[in-house]
Amino acid sequence: MVTRVENGDAQSFNPWLNVVSLIEQAGATLGLNAGMIKRIVTPERILEVAVPVRMDNGEVEMYTGWRIHHDTSRGPGKGGIRFHPSVNVDEIAALSADMSIKCAVVNIPYGGAKGGVRVDPTTLSRSELERLTRRYAFDIATMIGPDRDIPAPDINTDAQVMSWIMDTISMLRGHPVPGLVTGKPLAIGGTVGHAGATSLGVTICIETVLRRLSRAPRDQRAIIQGYGKVGAPLVKLLTDRGIRVVGVADVHGAIHVGSGVDPDTLAKHVSEAGTLLGYPGSDEVSPDDFFSIDSEIAIPAALGGSITEKVARSLSASIVVEAANGPTTGDGARVLAERDILVVPDVLANAGGVVASYFEWAQDMQGFMWERELFQQRLEKTMRLAIDHVWTRREQLNVNLRESAIAVGVERIAEATELRGLFP
């Protein structure tokens, strides 16, 4: 079951308690009754599974996995699957609630779900990873389906993992089920615009915010924590729009380049060296000091809980755009608010990924693939409408952007819940 522990520093930060407090606060702001707030907070179903895997040496290892449906009042559950040694039920529950709100914020007909396995996939061979994936897919088979819950890639999972999940469930059901997962390869029902959609959504949010604040992109410096599926494309996307990326961090360390990094040169260096460190013309920076690098825009694009109270107090930027899920602790968010730092929250900033997943699912269900131009046009329109609406509600409710985004999501979930009523 989802636990309740005291929130504190990054080590004791509990993401579930954090998202509960945000939903409860939004409910109070909107004047929802206590019963409705409880319904929105409480996950609909939590499945914990034991995942036995036969290793290449013949021995059997046991792993633990979860799939959680937080809310499906607005449509099928939607949420990624992550393979990571830190995965736990609180993390998955919090992420599933984030997905409920995120899908409502961008106004797509999905609810929220999330899944994961507590495992370090870097210790597995490819065949062991496939057996783990297929067994986990079998164990959660009753929870997922095109009209029930549609998984997608997340941390340490990719298009290949989605292919194995789709194939496993297709074998169980006796027919192809391409709409079961998103983030698939093109050859089996993927879509041309999915790769990089989260990064593009973050970029659209930054452009919209800068326009509303009357700031020219060429006058902005950005730092990006994380150089993976989201952070790496962001370096180029922002640079192409005139924003200087002066700091980047990965799992090995962090660098500072006052004149701004060159995206292509950096990508080539990382490909050859396996790390950002040593990039020509850069100064190595302690990860503890990364967010204090002089900048106007800070983008956490790694794991959750990275912006603690201490980090928030040392932050140089005046805008934070949460490309990662849950990157700011409760105490960190309080300090950012006290300092009047504008925060574009994760449920809005990184929603480009789930919008792309929705488009892929829609194409699979229709059996008709869209052109790249149409995909990108619809993604940009959806993201711009979402941030404009959140910004307007911010002014109407007289709250900050994070509180406004959560309120928009909770408001739409509450509307759907009220319209559907209570069975029996």
Indicate if 201 and 344 belong to the same structural domain. Answer: yes
Averaged pLDDT for residues 378-386: 95
Averaged pLDDT for residues 291-295: 96
Whether 394 is in a domain gets the answer no
Q: What average pLDDT does the structure give for the chain?
A: 94
Indicate if 100 and 208 belong to the same structural domain. Answer: no
pLDDT of residue 325: 84
Which of 321, 349, 377 lies at the terminal end of a domain, its last residue? 349
Q: Are 333 and 25 in contact (CB under 8 A)?
A: no
pLDDT band at 2 (very low <50, low <70, confident <90, very high): low
Does residue 399 have a pLDDT over 70?
yes
d(CA 103, CA 409): 8
Q: Are 98 and 68 in contact (CB under 8 A)?
A: no
Indicate if 250 and 293 belong to the same structural domain. Answer: yes
Indicate if 277 and 134 belong to the same structural domain. Answer: no
Indicate if 137 and 240 belong to the same structural domain. Answer: no
pLDDT of residue 386: 97
pLDDT of residue 10: 46
Which of 287, 319, 349 lies at the terminal end of a domain, its last residue? 349
In sequence order, the β-bridge partners of residue 397 are none
- pLDDT, tens digit, 9 for 90 and up, residues 353-366: 999 999 999 999 99
Whether 315 is in a domain gets the answer yes
Domain that holds residue 49: 43-178
Which of 326, 349, 372 lies at the terminal end of a domain, its last residue? 349
Pairing of β 297-300 and β 221-225: parallel
Indicate if 155 and 286 belong to the same structural domain. Answer: no
What share of the chain in percent tops pLDDT 70?
Answer: 97
Indicate if 234 and 323 belong to the same structural domain. Answer: yes
At what angle are helices 89-105 and 401-420 packed, to 10 degrees? 90
Whether 317 is in a domain gets the answer yes
Least confident of 125-129, 271-275, 301-305, 407-411: 301-305
Q: Give the active site residue among 38, 78, 102, 114.
A: 114
- pLDDT, tens digit, 9 for 90 and up, residues 116-133: 999 999 999 999 999 999
Question: CATH code at 84?
Answer: 3.40.50.10860
Whether 189 is in a domain gets the answer no
ω into 280 cis (within 30 of 0): no
Question: CATH code at 315?
Answer: 3.40.50.720
Whether 412 is in a domain gets the answer no
pLDDT of residue 95: 92
- pLDDT, tens digit, 9 for 90 and up, residues 80-115: 999 999 999 999 999 999 999 999 999 999 999 999
d(CA 10, CA 73): 33
Indicate if 166 and 278 belong to the same structural domain. Answer: no
pLDDT of residue 11: 52
Whether 52 is in a domain gets the answer yes
Cα 384 to Cα 131, 209, 219, 381, 405, distances in angstroms: 41, 10, 22, 5, 13
pLDDT band at 7 (very low <50, low <70, confident <90, very high): very low
Whether 399 is in a domain gets the answer no
d(CA 96, CA 117): 14
Whether 373 is in a domain gets the answer no
Q: Are 392 and 398 in contact (CB under 8 A)?
A: no
* 102 catalytically annotated: no
pLDDT band at 18 (very low <50, low <70, confident <90, very high): confident
Least confident of 12-26, 222-236, 359-373: 12-26
Q: Compare 74 and 6 and report the one with higher pLDDT.
A: 74
pLDDT of residue 397: 96
What share of the chain in percent tops pLDDT 90?
Answer: 92
- pLDDT, tens digit, 9 for 90 and up, residues 63-82: 999 999 999 999 999 999 99
Into how many domains does the chain fold?
A: 2
Indicate if 219 and 87 belong to the same structural domain. Answer: no
Indicate if 211 and 345 belong to the same structural domain. Answer: yes
Averaged pLDDT for residues 279-297: 95
Indicate if 160 and 249 belong to the same structural domain. Answer: no
Say which residues have a Cβ less than 8 Å from residue 63's Cβ, sequence separation at least 6. 50, 51, 52, 53, 117, 118, 119, 132, 136
Least confident of 129-133, 154-158, 192-196, 418-422: 192-196
Does residue 54 have a pLDDT over 70?
yes
Indicate if 248 and 217 belong to the same structural domain. Answer: yes
